[in-house]
């Protein structure tokens, strides 16, 4: 859920053995330059949809390498830089099947940073219940369960990937997504030539259905009166003008919208400065039907007006 920290692609110098042509750069003592490919590292929980995410990028024209040992990622980037633009975008899937190489990942990431390679990490997350159902449906063991249960393997993997999840630029929770919905999310983040500085997802949700696990920021709208208790508004949702008008006529609603969007603008500036390119803002109320929906629509519109590419999603709308 794309962007570069700099205006264009970074560059690395190569020696004459990596250059093409008549050899003039070597004779003149000039270094040739090759554009560094875009790099996306796909990781996350087994069964959460890594293969689907990788296939989506492959369909978008990315060069995808599955289960590449982390120590070889910098080498892959260097080879891509020497391909004369034939390999401009590389996606690497890193998972626990290569766990004996997994300790090398941190070292490889540091190497990429030292070479000023712009790299992004996509982490696929899912709930324990969803993962157990998926493994049981295909009648396959979890790669880390050993002689234990599936849940033991899930817990071990979650511990192993905890630090990487914290470093991820984009976390996608696939617990309630089908294959087509996951592909849609990947398309929204990586399709097209335009590369906005920051992409935001504003998600309404209901607290009674649980917090979104992929949220970066969570805000609570339950301080506002609930339209559920107004009989003529109960059947409608926050997408209806009558409900939205009721919500924003309540004391503090407009002031909250103004101040929270100001705060988001400040946070967005910091995210850009730190190289974070994706943010998910979760807006909650009791059932995710009225207040959070109306507020999410307004917040999304405000962010879009500030130049942030924004998608508004209503996670729990229609569940009642």
Mean pLDDT of 258-284: 88
Q: Mean pLDDT over all residues of the chain?
A: 84
Residues of the chain above pLDDT 70, percent: 85
Q: Is the pTM of this model over 0.85?
A: no
- CB 289, CB 206: distance < 8 Å: yes
- Reply yes or no on whether the pLDDT at 305 is more than 80: yes
- Residue-level pLDDT at 37: 83
pLDDT digits (tens, 9 = 90+) for 199-209: 899 999 999 99
54-111: pLDDT as tens digits = 998 988 889 999 888 888 899 999 888 888 778 888 999 988 765 555 678 888 888 8
């Amino acid at each position: 859920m794309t962007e570069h920290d700099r205006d264009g692609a970074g560059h690395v110098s190569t020696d004459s053995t990596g250059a093409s042509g008549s050899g003039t750069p070597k004779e003149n003592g000039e270094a040739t330059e090759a554009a560094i490919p875009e790099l996306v590292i796909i990781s996350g929980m087994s069964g959460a949809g890594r293969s689907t995410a990788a296939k989506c990028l492959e369909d978008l024209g990315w060069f995808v390498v599955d289960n590449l040992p982390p120590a070889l990622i910098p080498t892959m980037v260097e080879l891509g830089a020497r391909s004369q633009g034939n390999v401009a975008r590389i996606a690497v899937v890193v998972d626990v099947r290569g766990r004996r190489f997994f300790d090398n990942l941190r070292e490889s990431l540091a190497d990429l940073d030292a070479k000023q390679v712009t790299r992004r990490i996509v982490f696929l997350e899912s709930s324990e219940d969803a993962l157990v159902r998926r493994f049981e449906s295909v009648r396959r063991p979890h790669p880390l369960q050993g002689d234990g249960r599936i849940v033991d393997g899930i817990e071990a993997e979650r511990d192993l990937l905890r630090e990487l999840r914290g470093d991820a630029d984009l976390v996608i929770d696939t617990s309630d997504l089908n294959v087509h919905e996951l592909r849609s999310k990947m398309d929204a983040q990586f399709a097209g030539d335009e590369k906005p500085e920051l992409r935001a997802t504003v998600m309404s949700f209901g607290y009674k259905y649980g917090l979104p696990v992929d949220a970066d920021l969570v805000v609570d709208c339950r301080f506002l009166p609930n339209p559920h208790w107004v009989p003529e508004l109960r059947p409608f949702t926050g997408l209806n003008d009558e409900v939205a008008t009721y919500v924003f006529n309540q004391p503090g609603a407009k002031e909250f919208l103004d101040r929270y969007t100001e705060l988001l603008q400040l946070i967005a500036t910091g995210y850009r400065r730190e190289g974070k390119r994706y943010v998910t803002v979760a807006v909650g109320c009791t059932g995710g039907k009225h207040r959070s929906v109306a507020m999410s629509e307004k917040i999304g519109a405000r962010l879009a007006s500030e130049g942030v590419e924004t998608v508004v999603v209503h996670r729990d709308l229609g569940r009642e």
